[in-house]
Amino acid sequence: MLAGVVALATLVGAVLLAIRVVRTRRLLGALGVGGKVAFYGALIYAILPVDLLPDPIYLDDMGVLAGALFYLGRLAAKHRAAQRGLADPPPRPPMPNRPHRPVS
């Protein structure tokens, strides 16, 4: 009974993570090749029956999906910052010239 509840809970968690990953699909064009590989790789890993752990245990699927979601979120944040012009910090103003004072 407990094993069935745990399997159902991990399945629900994996499905919810997959839905969140799929929602990032609209950003794939802007996120480059790394984003596309993370997106499609995570979804293919979650769908295919070849897993590190047997399929009633979806913890490995959840880990891959969560990792992809984290990576895609970081790429999206970098992309938004670059669009706002915040990717490169503004140059620092030059330091004023100070006379060199020898230490006694």
Q: What are 32-63's pLDDT values in tens digits?
A: 888 888 888 888 888 887 776 666 667 788 88
Structural tokens at position 21? 């990953």
Spatial distance between the Cα atoms of 35 and 20, rounded to a whole number of angstroms: 14
With a threshold of 0.85, does the pTM exceed it? Answer: no
CA dihedral 22, 25, 27, 31 (to 10 degrees): 100
Q: Where are the domains of the chain?
A: 2-84
State the DSSP string of 68-98. Answer: HHHHHHHHHHHHHHHHHT-SSPPPPPPPPP-
For 5-23, how does the pLDDT look when each residue is reduced to its tens digit (9 = 90+)?
Answer: 777 787 788 788 788 777 7
Residue type present at position 44? I
Structural tokens at position 78? 């970098």
